[in-house]
Amino acid sequence: MSETDVRVLVNVTDGVADVVLNRSAKRNALDTAMFEAILSTIEDLGARDDVRAVVLSGAGGAFSAGIDLSLLAGGPADQGLQARTHGPANAFQQVAWGWRALPVPVIAAIEGVCFGGGLQIALGADLRIARPDARLAVMEARWALVPDMAGFPLLRGLVRADVLRELVYTAREVSGTEAASIGLATRVADDPHTEAMDLARHMAAQHPETTRAAKRLLGLTVDEYADPATLLLAESVEQEKLLGSAAMAALLGSRTTGR
């Protein structure tokens, strides 16, 4: 298999895992192979003792354009979203929630588009460093859907409540600069991958058990209003209803791009 056929590239050096979503011809849109590769990568990284920090990015100048709409035609709705296959999450949520659940810090380096499911994957990271001209959007409303890849528990505490409602209701696109100003991104950098790698190396140089303990405790601080399992299941219940709606059927008949 050539490197171009591998959906996720992983290189571990000095405790830092450089993870790259690798479907650049489709702006790293999430097809079945990409989902499977991300799930496998998360599982593998979680089992490794030599990984102390992770940098997550996309190949070809984009983070991810989101879900390939071909997945929605006979995909998640038929499989059922409410089954919990990965602890509190289903498989679609785990590709985002899994980064939050990893025991080590994860930094997302965002350039180009970061839409819908791609944004939710980035939200699973502990930190997000974006190019000023990056394009981010909670895109699901454009496809008559709600964020259901762990978006709600991951967005909680990042963005002010009324701003979050605006982003979810309107699918409005924001730049990396605005994303940083409203809390969707941690900060901006002209070269987010280099910045993320430098920061990850600094984190990897710290005592590993201290960092892991800190991540466990920091996770508790954002889960005070409702446990993640409740929100993750609620996402799936609402999305199943929408996926079976007449509006979804009409959209799938007229659209071919990803969300």
Higher pLDDT, 94 or 84: 94
pLDDT for residue 78 is more than 60: no
Q: How far apart are CA 134 and CA 139, in angstroms?
A: 15
What are the tokens at 85?
A: 């296959």
pLDDT for residue 63 is more than 90: yes
| Lowest mean pLDDT segment, chosen from 10-24, 39-53, 79-93 | 79-93
pLDDT for residue 76 is more than 60: no
197 found inside a domain: no
81 found inside a domain: yes
Sequential DSSP letters for the chain: --GGG-SEEEEEETTEEEEEE--GGGTT-B-HHHHHHHHHHHHHHHT-SS--EEEEEEGGG-SB--B-GGGTSSSHHHH-S-S--BTTB-HHHHHHHHHHHSSS-EEEEE-SEEETHHHHHHHTSSEEEE-TT-EEE--GGGGT----SSHHHHHTTTS-HHHHHHHHHH--EEEHHHHHHHTSSSEE-SSHHHHHHHHHHHHHTS-HHHHHHHHHHHHHHT-SSS-HHHHHHHHHHHHHHHHTSHHHHHHHHH--S--
Tens-digit pLDDT profile for residues 178-214: 999 999 999 999 999 999 999 999 999 998 998 998 8
User: Looking at the whole model, is its pTM more than 0.75?
Assistant: yes
216 found inside a domain: no
154 found inside a domain: yes
At 259 the pLDDT is 46
44 found inside a domain: yes
Cβ–Cβ < 8 Å for 67, 29: yes
171 found inside a domain: yes
161 found inside a domain: yes
Q: Cα 181 to chain center, whole Å?
A: 20
Cβ–Cβ < 8 Å for 75, 68: no
Q: How far apart are CA 116 and CA 259, in angstroms?
A: 6
Q: Which domain holds residue 19?
A: 3-191+224-254
At 206 the pLDDT is 93
Q: How far apart are CA 107 and CA 252, in angstroms?
A: 34
Mean pLDDT value across residues 92-105: 95
The average confidence (pLDDT) of the chain is 89
Q: How far apart are the first and last CA of the chain?
A: 28
pLDDT for residue 2 is more than 60: no
At 257 the pLDDT is 45
HSE toward the beta carbon, residue 179, CA cutoff 13 A: 32
Give the CATH number, domain containing residue 36. 3.90.226.10
Task: Tell me how far CA of residue 14 lies from CA of 17, 42, 188, in angstroms.
Answer: 8, 19, 25
Cβ–Cβ < 8 Å for 55, 197: yes
Number of domains in the chain: 1
What are the tokens at 93?
A: 């949520």
108 found inside a domain: yes
Cβ–Cβ < 8 Å for 65, 29: yes
pLDDT for residue 67 is more than 50: yes
Higher pLDDT, 54 or 232: 54
Tens-digit pLDDT profile for residues 210-230: 899 888 878 876 655 567 887
Tens-digit pLDDT profile for residues 108-147: 999 999 999 999 999 999 999 999 999 999 999 998 899 9
Q: How far apart are CA 6 and CA 21, in angstroms?
A: 9
